[in-house]
Every structure is written in C-alpha cells, then in structure tokens.
Chain A
Amino acid sequence: MNFDLTEEQELLQETVRGFVANECPPPRLREIFDSGEGTDPALWQGMAEMGLAGLMIPEEYGGAGMELLELALVAEALGSGVLPGPFLGHSLAALALMLAGSDVQKRQWLPRLATGDVIGTYAVAEEDSQWEPSEWSVTERAGKLNGTKLYVPHADIADLIVVGCSGGGLALVERETRGVSLENMQGIDRTRPIFKIVFDAADAEALESGEAASQRVRDAALVLLAADSFGVASSLIRMSVDYAKTREQFGTIIGQFQSVKHQLARLSTDIEPTRALVWYAAHAFDHLPEDAERAAAIVNSHLTDRAMHTARESVELHGGLGFTWECDVQMWYKRAMFNRSAFGTPDVVRGRVATLGGW
C-alpha cells in the first residue's frame, strides 16, 4: 500500500506550477481576462512543448502515455493559477478518440493532438443542461450531423470537435466544415469561453464505440473539474491568508482577529484533506474499475461545491475590495462557477452518487 505520488508525478506537477507562475502571473492573467479572448497562443504553445497536450495519449501516437492521475495533477496546477486555454476540452477530445476511435481515426488525429498542433474540444451539453450520454439528441446519419450543442469550451480555436450523439455515441467534426456555425455564449469564466454550435448537415465521422466510452469520458471530465477546483480553492485560501497577513484595521493586521483566523482555518480544514480525494478518484479511474464511476461523481460534487463555498468566503475575507473587478479573487471565483456548473451541478451529480451506491 502506497498512497503517495511518485517522484516523477511530483516533478511533473512542480514543473507545471512553475510554468503557470512564470508564464501567467496575475498581471498577465488579468490582461487575457480583460481582453475577452479567453486564450493566449503562446501559453498553449508552451504547454504543448512541455507535452501537456498529449499527456494521456499513448506513446505509439506521440503522446506521453500517462494516466488520468497525471492529468489531474496538471489540472490542479492549472486551476491554481486559473490558466486560460483549451486544456480541458482538448484532453477530453483526445481521450474520447483513444477510447472510441478506430485505428484509422486514431492514426489520423492522435499524433497531431499530441503535439498540440491540432486543438480539440468536446461538445456535450444540450438544452436543459443535458450532460448525460443517454440524454443527447444530436444525430449523426450517413456522415451528416444535425442538432445543437451548448457550452462548448474554446470552440472558436478548436480544429476538431468530438460531439456526443443520440444513443450515447460520439462523432468527429472539423470546425472548418460547411454546416458548423458558432455563437459565443458570453461565458462568465473568461479563461474558458463557451460556444453554442449548430450543426446543419455538417460532414462528420462516427467513432466506433458507443455509450460506454462516453461515460468514461464523462467520468474523466468530472475528475478533472474536481482537480481544477481543488487548485482554485487552495489558491483562494492562500490569497486570503496573504491578505489577512497584510491588511490592517483597528491598528493591527486582520489575521490577528479570531473571526478572521477561524474563518481561514475552517476553509483550510474543508479543502486541504480533499487533496487525497482527488488523487483517489483519479487513481480509481485508472486502476479500480469497480469504484471509478462513483468515485468520480463523489469527488466532483464534493470539490466543485467546496471550491465555490471557498470562493464566496474569500470575497468576504477581502472586504469591499473583494467585490471589485480589480481584485484578483473574481477570476478564481468565476472559474469555480464554471467548474460547478459544467457536467452537472453538485445536486445532480449527487443523485448519481446515490443511485450508484445502491441507495
């Protein structure tokens, strides 16, 4: 029994943390955030050079052949700096291809996804927040795709879109294809712009496997959003602690007041032990098939909920400043909002926790 990261895993995470700190410190993040672009080609380029675009893609296709645990460690580091860019959708698109693509499809796309030259995204949700594979209604027939997807991250810069279809299957569409039209939905999290995509007899190619693969990708998404949320929450606590160590009121720094100290200690107690929960769910996805699905649902509902709670408290801890656009907290706050709402809100995901638990 060894519930700990390997040295390589720790090094990977440290490297990504270092990259985030150096390449996207808060002033740079602020520029990207205010521009509304939601991305920075140089950042994606840097990530691709570190191999992060193909982390889980098998080595035979030019990837690093790692597991979801490594991907989750990266997601945590990216979440802690709310790094803008297409990492989430790209990773899920690559995973969908790995799990459901034919040999030909894998050979055609995975090597280019692995280098980051081709950016992927994953189009799932439809009207009424339908994220579950069994609920999808977009149709793929005879190579033509029809229907509408919502909340698709970074669709504007994606070259390849993996689309969930009725019956839980998946299809591949190139964005630069006739019959694919995009509309910016003006998302709250400016590090991950979201789009409505209408497919009108767009040329598409079905992936081989059906609903089981879609469910695996859904579970991976739940874990990655949880890992990102853990990063978001940990950073918010650190920022709030730093603020409480410098801000003076009543002639002393506010961290000396028990109300502030206890609020911070409670937030920390809520979040710090969940680092292990993220590791466990990712490890279960890779190695414990009997518990993978439920563990993903538990970690997602728990972490996206706790991170949002942390974000709200962090605003309060920053006083009036906390409610301003100028305060950095808002950028983390909005990432927490994205994470909480994507792939099902905590109450919806907890419904699955209950059902999967045989309750």
Chain B
Amino acid sequence: MNLRYSKEYDTYRQSLQEFLKGWPLQGDEAELPKQKQEQLFRQRGVEAGYVYFAIPKEYGGAGQQPDVLKSAIITEEYARVGAPGNCVSQGPALLAPTLIEFGTEEQKREFVRPTLRGDLRWCQGYSEPGAGSDLASLQCSAVLDGDEWVINGQKIWTSNAQEADYMFGLFRTEPKASKHAGISYLLVDLKQPEIEVRPLKQMTGALDFNEVFFTDARAPAGNIVGKRGEGWAVSRSTLKHERNLIGNPNMMRAHFNSTIALARRSQRGGRPAIEDPLIRNRLAEIEGYVRTAEVSHLRQLTAEAKGEELKVMLPMMMNKLYSTDTMQKIMTLAYDLLGADGMLAPTAEDIASYARTHTSTGFVEQYIFSQGPAIAGGTTNIQLNIIGERGLGLPRDLRVPK
C-alpha cells in the first residue's frame, strides 16, 4: 500500500498545476462574460490534453491513453482551483461516453465534438408518467416510416429539456416484443413543432425539469444507437456513468467543509456552535462517513487502474446510495446549524447558481436539493433491491401474477 503517487504522476500533476495558473483568465479575457471565459478555458484544456482526457482527438477529446490515475489527478486539481473542467451536464457526461462505446462512426463524428464543446445541448429521455422505477414498462413509441422514426407519447422528469437541442432516450419500437426487448435508444432533435416542452417546478423553486410531449415527431432512421430492440443494454451504460457522477466524494468533502465553516460562524447559547459538544460529535460522526467514501474511492481507483474492478464490485454498487445518504447527513446538520434561518426560502440567486454554501438560503437550497439524488438515476429503494439481489444474492421480489 502506498498513497503517494509515483514520480511520473507527480510530474504530471506539476505540469497540470502550471497549466491551471491560466485560470482565472487575466487581462482583456477577464472582461468576457463568465460563460465565454469558461468555454475558452475548457477549449484550452482540450488542446493541452486535460479535458475530455480519454475521448479520441478525432471526436474532439484530448485523445490520451485512458489512465484512471491521471483522470483522478485532473479532477482533483481542476476542483482545487475551481476551473471549468469536463462539463458535467448530460451530453458530455452521459451521452458522449455512451456514443464512444455504442455509436456508429457517423454518429460519433456528427455528435460527440459539438456536444463536448457545449454547442449541442442534451437532455435524457427515460422516465414516463407510468414508467419511473419500472422503467422497462415505458410506452412512448417510435415507428419506422420509410427512413424516419415517427414518435408519439410523453416523457417526464426530463432535466434541462427547456434549453436542450436534442434528447437521447428510450422508445418502444417493437410493441410485440417482451418488455425489455422492445426498446430502442434514439437521438431526437427537440427543435421541431411536433415536440412540446412544459416546465415542472421543483420543490427548490427551480425550473430544471420538464414534461415532453411528442405528437408525430420525427427522427432520422440512422439516429438509433445500437440495434433495434437493444436500447436497454445501451441505456445501462449511460446509467453507469450517471451513478458514478452522483457518487463523487469531492462534492461530499466540499459540502462537509462548508458545514464546518457554518458551525464556526453559527451561534449556540452565545458561543460558536462548533464549541458545542453535540455539534462536535455530529460532525465527527459524519466525518466517519465522508472519510469512508474518500478512501473507498481510492481503493476503487486502484482496482480500476489494475483492471480488477470485479474485486470491488460490491462497494461500486453502493457508491450512489452511500453518497446520497452521506450528503443528506451533512446537509441535515447544516440545516440544523442555520437555526431559525432554516425557515427562509432560497433566493433566485441560490436557484440559479449551483451548490452555493456560503449563505443561509444557499444552504437551505442545498438541504432541499440533497433529496434529489435519492430519486435520480434510480430511487434508493430500487438501489437497495439491486444491492440485495445482485450484491448479497437474495431472491428477487415477489411478483404480482399477471
């Protein structure tokens, strides 16, 4: 066991730190709108080989040999200086790796580069009103008519559909096939009048997710990823990326540190709350969970780097659930530290900016938001079934006879 990186990786980290001195931007560039600055810096990151590290150059990535440890160093260092690294929205984080794995050459060429650059924005069309946890019972249909799919039905809980250009999603293409076998994975242009996007308001007050209605909407026949009726397998890949996205310990540590800072500035009985034995105890208990997530992550990174993922399959299965529970513990303590400020509503600024944890209302927003991951990407109850059945080998649930 050795937690120090080898000389090769230390050197790599140093050159990356050198590159990151370019952020934040200086001079005239610092005057550009924030979004422009981020785009500019991300583009430089791709050219320097640090952003979209393992995606081949011909598709707009940095084209480096996949290297788990280098990727981890990049994530750490970008997070340390708050630089805009890999865009974590659905397109780059979920669709791009799925297309690299399952897409045709044409699809990779057409979609991956603009997606990574942020020129093409995506939403994920999985859930339907009657198909949430029981996703495979989805009904939204796509029928091949000449060289086009004709799509009818509805999607729901579609995050960012209001600003997306395209949807990647699951549609029923073989109505006679059994539940899982009748589904295909399609890429659909949302900018057509046959598609209507209606916002749903989240309990934080944000308008990030939507209902999407299809009435004879169209997609080219070539926009199918994988084979007809094999969309379920393709979506498993996307879901794996999504669960990894939710289980990242860096976010946990950041929120935990913010909560310690909050405990320092909050008062209990006229003294800083951090001096209260009860608060100290709760913080220490939570750190047990945060540390566990961090070192378990190191163990998984090592296994991944050695190609021995099977060895750590069980903890990997647990990542999403573990991080959801830990984040809720952190945010619940923060919420208690707010005292009466816990009754305040999040401001528009809290809602617009991601993960603000230096204002009371920012913490309120994050407290509510920490409910989300228990639902997104498969609810906690479903995760528990997966862990129980695939991890512990318990029998499948009782099924209602048809």
Give residues in A with beta carbon < 8 Å to B.
1-6, 69, 241, 244-245, 252-253, 255-258, 260-262, 264-266, 268-269, 272-277, 279-280, 283, 287-288, 295, 298-299, 301-302, 305-306, 346-347, 350-351, 353-354, 357, 359
Contact = CB atoms under 8 A, between A and B. Distances in A.
Contacts of B303: 4
Contact of A69 (B1, B6, B315, B381): B1
B281 A350 contact: yes
Interface stretch (B31-39, B150-158, B219-227, B292-300): B292-300
Nearest to B274: A359
Contacts of A301: 284-285, 288
A261 B394 contact: yes
B283 A354 contact: yes
Interface string B385-396: 101110111111
A155 to B, nearest CB: 32
A318 B182 CA distance: 42
B291 A277 contact: yes
A258 B385 contact: yes
Contacts of A264: 388, 392, 394
A290 to B, nearest CB: 12
Nearest to B314: A272
B9 A273 contact: no
Interface in B228-285: 260, 263, 274, 277, 280-281, 283-285
Contacts, number: 158
Given A261-B394, A269-B325, 9 more contacts: A3-B3, A3-B301, A5-B1, A258-B381, A258-B385, A266-B384, A268-B391, A273-B322, A299-B288
A261 B385 CA distance: 7
A4 B384 contact: no
B351 interface: no
A263 to B, nearest CB: 9
B395 A253 contact: yes
B328 to A, nearest CB: 13
Interface of B: 1-6, 9, 69, 260, 263, 274, 277, 280-281, 283-285, 287-289, 291-293, 295-296, 298-299, 301-303, 306, 314-315, 318, 321-322, 325, 381, 383-385, 387-389, 391-398
Given A1-B2, A4-B1, A298 B394 contact: no
Nearest to B285: A350
Q: Which of A252, A253, A262, A276 has the most CB of B within 10 A?
A: A276
Contacts of A268: 314, 318, 387, 391-392
B251 to A, nearest CB: 16
B126 to A, nearest CB: 23
26 contacts: A1-B2, A1-B6, A1-B302, A3-B3, A256-B394, A256-B395, A262-B384, A265-B385, A265-B392, A266-B384, A273-B292, A273-B315, A277-B291, A277-B292, A280-B295, A298-B291, A302-B291, A306-B288, A346-B285, A347-B281, A350-B280, A353-B287, A354-B280, A354-B284, A359-B263, A359-B283
A266 B318 CA distance: 9
A353 to B, nearest CB: 4
B396 A256 contact: yes
A351 B281 contact: yes
A2 B285 contact: no
B298 A3 contact: yes
A258 B397 contact: yes
Nearest to A67: B1
Nearest to A359: B274
B311 to A, nearest CB: 8
Contacts of B280: 350-351, 354, 359
Contact of B302 (A3, A257, A273, A353): A3
Contacts of B292: 273-274, 276-277, 302
Contacts of B396: 256
B258 to A, nearest CB: 14
Nearest to B277: A351
B329 to A, nearest CB: 12
Contacts of B296: 273-277
Contacts of A279: 1, 295, 299
A353 B397 contact: no
Nearest to B289: A302
Q: Which of B69, B384, B392 has the most CB of A within 10 A?
A: B392
A261 B295 contact: no
A351 to B, nearest CB: 7
A211 to B, nearest CB: 23
Q: State the 9 A-B residue pairs at the shortest beta-carbon distance, nearest first.
A: A302-B288, A350-B284, A354-B280, A261-B388, A353-B284, A273-B296, A265-B387, A255-B394, A3-B298
